[in-house]
Structure 1
Amino acid sequence: MRRVERAVVIGGGIGGLTAAVALHRRGVRVTVLERAGSLEPVGAAISLAPNALRGLDVIGLGDDIRALSAWQGDGGLRAPSGRWLSRSSAAAAEERFGGPLVLLHRATLVDHLAARLPAGAVRTAAAAHVVDPGNPGGPGDPGRPARVGTPDGEWEADLVVAADGIHSAARRALFPDHPGPVYSGFTTWRVVIPLPGVEFASHETWGRGRIWGTHPLKDGRVYAYAAAVVPAGERAPDDERAELLRLYGDWHDPIPAVLAAARPGDVLRHDVHHIAEPLPAYHRGRVALVGDAAHAMPPTLGQGGNQAIEDAITLALPRARMRSGGGTPVVEDLPAYTAARLPRTTAIARQAVRVARLNMMTGRFASAVRDNAIAALSKAGPALLLRGFDGIADWRPPGDTARSGEAASGEAVCSRQTTAGDG
């Protein structure tokens, strides 16, 4: 009888929990070590595109999340005056990519994932770090297990999944010479609040060096986000709601209504960082990096959490494992994991940087040219605006008999509401 593999997941966010559930379903004994005192995530909402939803299908969660979709009818891109630059259709996006776009609170997704793990699999208030990445060994060589340190002692594991975020200690341990994340040039604000009696079309609005988005959630609340080009580390002299009023208070409806309903404590602010120089690999020894730990990107394509889900599913079900009928230990397929994920996520991250340069333009003339180009492109055909997501939203998990999406290429000129909740 084959020995049951043991995996330790560092980080109880979306990527870490998805990996834990996927590994658990493959018969791996999994423990999740989360630094925070609870699994309640920092952040507001996340947009899940069809690629991530197909990944969640693998662990039996896709349809539950699709049922939470709240985007119906038209939405699109606007100017601060309220003028529509382009219209987008939920139906057109679903037809093109084979599924809906779902916007939901991060806590909702975390709860769904955690509920699929056995009791005791998640340990909170458990800060963890890689002590030894281990060695998978080879023919005639059993190798050595990986070791993870915690305040309460060390854990040994056949596989360590490092999903410890953009400032990953595991990444620094595996690749100490890598420069790490850099400031993306802008900060973001997020808020989730009730907004009864206010009707609006789901939208994102682009100004000069500033953007805003407002979207409904299935539970009746509204998710709004903003981003602005500012120096790193800046904070409002009074409170962040007041800062939003200064920056966006004269923009079109329903933005003033959102700001009027929000309280200072409702507003979250975070500077945006990304990994500009790709890592040489997403694994070393018995440790695999997942999500922002591997390829943090700006939120301008709404793909950070989506790519973390893709990572997790690919790690648990790599192609070699699928061919072998599940008999190959996961750790033996880590080179295949890097080969599958590094080119794709590098291309998507670079595209997200290019889109950030586009929608965060600060020059008056350049912004006007951008807006006119978007409006002209929209008149030429809404499908053109969706092409920036070809090769991204049409991804399928390893082993899917349908055609999987290839690595993203080209530059998106405009898209559906892009920044939504991917922080």
Structure 2
Amino acid sequence: MPGTANSPEPHAVVIGGGIGGLTAAIGLRNAGWRVTVLERAGSLEPIGSGIGLAPNAQRALDVLGLGDRVRELAAWEGAGGVRAQDGRWLVRTSAAATERAFGGTLVLLHRATLVDLLVAELPADCLRTGVDARLTDPGGPGRRAVVTTGDGDIEADLVVGADGINSAVRTALFPAHPAPAYTGFTAWRLIVPAPERPFAPHETWGRGGVWGTHPLKDGRVYAYATALVPEGGRAPDSEKAELERRFARWHDPIPAIIAAARPEDVLRNDVRHLIEPLPAHHRGRVALIGDAAHAMAPTLAQGGNQAIEDAVVLAHHAAPRADLFAGLAAYSAARVPRTTAIVRKAARAARLNHLTGSPVRAVRDTLLRTASRLGPNLILRGFTSIADWRPPQPPYAAGTGSGAQEREPARR
């Protein structure tokens, strides 16, 4: 029977060629699966934005032998922190404090750089772009799953739904589950040349909005902004002009970052999250990963990190010639509690850093400054259960920077 110890060439189909889907494909190939990745877009070139990889995601990439290469390509976050709208520092952090707390530090790189690295690990014939794929049968004991494309049906021993926040695979598996809900804020992202004056990486919490500025290794800057606005809105002129109206009076280097952007450099999207967790991240022979399984607000910068974790944990549990259904159950048991907690924590963080009233913002800022003066560990403690995660398997490569342990820690 396919998917058992007697099955020839167990075949896994990954629907979605983003960071999570590509990482899953690499992990499954390393575990012994024959893998096909189906991506709806005509190319795998991602949108122009950055991604921060915390120590937890770096350890997952260490398992694939890619952690050191990512760290070589990325900018390492040094001294930085959280600032108020007028530029006052509320929280100061350092790479040394983060290293002590989590065994590694945050690194930042362009999403295209990470995607190129992942694509290079896969044979060209396993990637198919421009393919509109849909799950028509999740499969079960005694029957394979079926994915339908314009070229016909593909039978698979395992299907990975990595098709993002609007996941059709998720809808097929859990049709009655609520769709991702609007968080109440929209987000802008842009990459521009770095300003002449040096600056420390920072996130700024202002009235009903957030701005972040982080350097990339190639001399450019990745910036992002969020604001409480009604869902579905768009600027009447350009999104650059909207950023100017909302943020150009904030502290340096924010005005210079906005001025350096061309209108076409600014990306905008409403932020939604799957605040009500799925009952499981699998059904039949199908597993969900990334935003398809647990879309979250970006306030903890963990969306892509959790997709990478998912991919590595799935590859660990879904051995190609073992009991697939037991493996998928173990995958859900490992991932649902962790990702549910992070989705909810990100939602709480979004409420905290989008406060609008002056009195409550003053109280928040005072508490942050006080906690920061008491020591960085007090601030970092809130991320301990996220960034100190270890994958359930040891790395295939040396991976000195964020080395993994051989067991997954107890879920918090």
TM-score by length of 1: 0.91
Match in the other structure for 1:160: 159
CA contact (8 A) 1:69 1:100 kept: no
Measured at CA, do residues 82 and 94 of structure 1 come closer, stay the same or move farther in structure 2, by a change above 3 Å? same
Q: CA RMSD in A?
A: 1.5
Q: Tell me which residue corresponds to 1:359.
A: 353
Residue 73 (structure 1) shift: 3.3
- Cα deviation 1:272-302 (Å, max 9, x = unaligned): 0000111111111101000000000100111
Aligned partners of 2:289 and 2:325: how far apart in 1? 14
Q: Tell me the residue number matched to 2:189.
A: 190
Match of 1:397 in 2: 391
Higher RCO, 1 or 2 (CA under 8 Å, sep at least 6)?
Answer: 2
Which residue in 1 is equivalent to 2:382?
Answer: 388
Aligned-residue offset at 1:363:
1.3
Contact 2:214–2:223 (Cα < 8 Å) also in 1: yes
Paired amino acid for 2:174: F
Aligned to 1:328: 322
- 1:291 and 1:72 map into 2 onto residues whose CA distance is 24
Query: What per-residue deviation string (whole Å, max 9, x for no partner) do you get for residues 150-200 of structure 1?
Result: 112111000000000001000000001101100000000000111252311
The Cα of 1:271 is off from its aligned counterpart by: 0.3
Query: Measured at CA, do residues 406 and 367 of structure 1 come closer, stay the same or move farther in structure 2, by a change above 3 Å?
Result: farther
Map 1:3-402 → 2, pairs under 5 A: 3-135=8-140, 137=141, 143-318=142-317, 321=319, 327-328=321-322, 330-400=324-394, 401=405
Helix, strand or coil at the partner of 1:313 = helix
Q: Mark the CA change 1:157 to 1:171 in structure 2 (over 3 Å): closer, same or farther.
A: same
C-alpha separation in 2, matches of 1:399 and 1:74: 32
Q: Sort the Cα spacing of 1:297 and 1:43 in 2 relative to 1 into closer, same or farther, 3 A.
A: farther
- Whichever residue aligns with residue 218 of structure 2, its letter is D
In 2: Cα distance, 1:403 partner to 1:215 partner? 33
Task: Give the fraction of aligned pairs with identical amino acids, expressed as a percent.
Answer: 64
Residue type matched to 1:46 in 2? I
SS at match of 2:164: coil
1:99 counterpart SS class: coil
Shift of 1:71: 3.2
Tell me the SS of whatever aligns to 1:269. strand
In structure 2, C-alpha distance between the alignment counterparts of 1:48 and 1:405, rounded to whole Å: 20
Give 3-state SS (helix, strand or coil) of 1:392's partner: helix
DSSP 3-state at the match of 2:116: helix
Return the letter of the residue paired with 2:145: A
Judged with a 3 Å threshold, the aligned counterparts in structure 2 of structure 1 residues 57 and 259 are, in CA distance, closer, same or farther, namely same
Paired AA for residue 34 in structure 2: R
Residues 299 and 352 of structure 1 are in contact (CA less than 8 Å); yes or no, is this contact kept in structure 2? yes
Aligned 8 A contact 2:392 2:407 in 1? no
Structure 1 residue runs of 5 or longer lacking an equivalent are 138-142, 409-423
Show structure 2 runs of 5+ residues with no match.
1-5, 395-404
Give, as a single letter, the amino acid of the residue that structure 2 aligns with 1:342.
V
How far residue 406 of structure 1 moved from its aligned partner, in angstroms, is 4.4
